[in-house]
Amino acid sequence: MFGQGSLVSSFLAAVLAFTILIPQAAAFWRLPCLNKLLVERNDPIVSPGAVAGHLHTIMGGNGFNFTMDYQNSRASTCSSCTVKQDLSNYWIPNVFYRAKNGSFFPVEQIGGATIYYLQRADTPEEKLKAFPPGFRMVAGDPWLRNNTSVSGRTDAFTYVCLDYSGRSNQYTEFPNRNCPSGLRVQIFFPSCWNGKDLDSPDHKSHMAYPTGINFGKCPPTHPVKFISIFYEIIFNTNAFKDQWYDNKQPFVLSNGDPTGYSLHGDFINGWDIDVLQKAIDTCNSASGVVEECSVFKFFDQNQSQDCMVPPRVEEQTTGWLEKLPGCNPIQPGPERAIKYTNCGAQEKIGAPKKYYTDVSTKNWEYVGCVMDNLTSRTFPEREDFNDLTVEKCIDYCVSKGFEWAGMEYGRECYCGKSAPPQDRMGYSRCTTPCAGNDNQYCGAAQRLSTYKAKGPNSNTFGTPK
């Protein structure tokens, strides 16, 4: 079922030959997205205003929402990607391990993503265009379960089985071998636009692939050539190397696909259009180093790593699951998958999840997520608890005469007598469950869930809404 015949070697050779013949085709930059923004059944392109059919991992600006437009994107206050002028969103389905008993476990995503922006002009005279305001598109087919080449499917959607100490091979489906350094998911988006529609009913028809999929001439129906975008996202499938069974690979996409052929991706443009166009016109380095493009400004790395959107769909997406989120039974094909509904899955969009505990009965209040530093602690007093809860840490700090309490990394309790420095305030990703109560949150790595005693002598930055 999963053979070496699907390795995509001739394609790579063709790309290499093309970049030698046309030097400007080699110009590109890599946009690092340092963390995922959100994991949720949320897709404002395909399912606007509703809970989406399957789970996605989303990167980019924190203006991401169930319904959004260009102005919402541009209103983002941070991004998990590093370029300040890019507040776009990029997303794909998640990868799960499927156990022999039919249960599922999410495969860890290593970091966020790398988004390639490739200047693949067909001729030296061709001028690539920036995406216009309001532009969005989808690449791929979530219902596909065979290797049918549709709109360049074979070359545009691939998996690389990474082995940094050996050979890394490329496949068009989930490889039937362990990947020691992880499984890299790759999506090449179409770059030819019809010149008029910012979207289309199927979210694809306003775009087309050039003749060479990731290079070449655009069809006459889609004459405008955009800069090309290409996603790379790595999943730590090696964590399950000792849990394979029945002599076949055990991974599935979150839409119920055990083949991998339904790989797909979404993009909503949130760029400052003038900046993107200037970068296309002037940033011609072949190194891929985004910092070499002088028109870009950058978020602080801590800002990008911390940027997140709290989920609003109340359902379990972590740990062992009896079934995939949504109505997504496993459908191996080869016929196209069908849509299932009315399976009892959550369909309500709720309020944003809160990562703090109401401790008003103790006359304390939540202040916010605060950055910590290993060499310069925010609060001086520390005690570790294997059964840490928010209340337990507060009680400990009270017993020591402190007015400030912070929980870090699930088990660590810190106490202080003064407010954290202003430049350490305003972070978000305090999302590690408390060791003593997994319904509470106790900071994260170098992040403090911070609380303070109420009273006239206590400084405060205000309680989050």
Q: What is the pLDDT of residues 10-47, one digit of tens each?
A: 333 333 333 333 334 479 999 999 999 999 999 999 99
Q: What is the pLDDT of residue 455?
A: 78
C-alpha distance from residue 51 to each of 127, 177, 293 (Å): 39, 34, 38
Q: Does residue 6 register a pLDDT over 50?
A: no
- Nearest Cα to 267, choosing from 171, 347, 190? 190
Amino acid at 73: S
Domain boundary among the residues 306, 329, 352 is at 306
Structural domain count of the chain: 2
Residue pLDDT, tens place only, 311-363: 999 999 999 999 999 999 999 999 999 999 999 999 999 999 999 999 999 99
What's the mean pLDDT in 271-293?
Answer: 97
- Pair (401, 288) in one structural domain: no
- pLDDT class for 149, splitting at 50, 70, 90? low
What are the φ and ψ backbone dihedral angles of 450, each rounded to 5 degrees?
A: -110, 130
Domain that holds residue 124: 4-306
Q: Is 68 helix (H, G, I), strand (E, B) or coil?
A: coil
Is residue 312 included in any domain, yes or no?
no
- Pair (108, 205) in one structural domain: yes
Is residue 282 included in any domain, yes or no?
yes
Is residue 381 included in any domain, yes or no?
yes
Average pLDDT, the chain: 92
- Look at the block and give the residue holding tokens 């299932």: 340
Q: What is the pLDDT of residue 154?
A: 64
Asked if 28 and 286 count as a contact pair (C-beta separation under 8 A), the reply is yes
Q: What is the pLDDT of residue 216?
A: 93
Q: What is the Cα–Cα distance from 86 to 60, expressed in whole angstroms?
A: 8
Is residue 290 included in any domain, yes or no?
yes
Is residue 226 included in any domain, yes or no?
yes
- Pair (291, 395) in one structural domain: no
- Nearest Cα to 345, choosing from 317, 311, 310, 318? 317
Q: What is the Cα–Cα distance from 84 to 293, expressed in whole angstroms?
A: 13
Q: Order of strands across the sheet with 412-416?
A: 364-371, 447-453, 404-408, 412-416, 381-384
Q: What is the pLDDT of residue 8?
A: 39
Q: What is the Cα–Cα distance from 409 to 342, expressed in whole angstroms?
A: 39
Is residue 328 included in any domain, yes or no?
no
Is residue 223 included in any domain, yes or no?
yes
What's the mean pLDDT in 230-246?
Answer: 98
Is residue 247 included in any domain, yes or no?
yes
Q: What is the Cα–Cα distance from 378 to 401, expressed in whole angstroms?
A: 17
Residue pLDDT, tens place only, 194-226: 999 999 999 999 999 999 888 999 999 999 999
Domain boundary among the residues 306, 329, 349 is at 306
The dihedral formed by the CA atoms of 250, 329, 138 and 286, expressed in degrees to the nearest 10: -10
Q: Which 8-state DSSP code applies to residue 397?
A: H
- Nearest Cα to 386, choosing from 431, 442, 439, 445? 442
What's 423's domain CATH number? 3.50.4
Residue pLDDT, tens place only, 284-305: 999 999 999 999 999 999 999 9
Q: What is the pLDDT of residue 5?
A: 36
* Token digits of residue 259: 């083949």
- Nearest Cα to 307, choosing from 33, 30, 31, 32? 33
Q: What is the Cα–Cα distance from 15 to 9, expressed in whole angstroms?
A: 10
pTM: 0.89
Q: Which 8-state DSSP code applies to residue 432?
A: P
- Pair (126, 259) in one structural domain: yes
Q: What is the Cα–Cα distance from 304 to 81, expressed in whole angstroms?
A: 6
Conformational region of residue 14, where left means phi above 0, alpha means psi within -120 to 50, and beta covers everything else: alpha
Q: Is 301 helix (H, G, I), strand (E, B) or coil?
A: helix
% of the chain at pLDDT higher than 70: 91
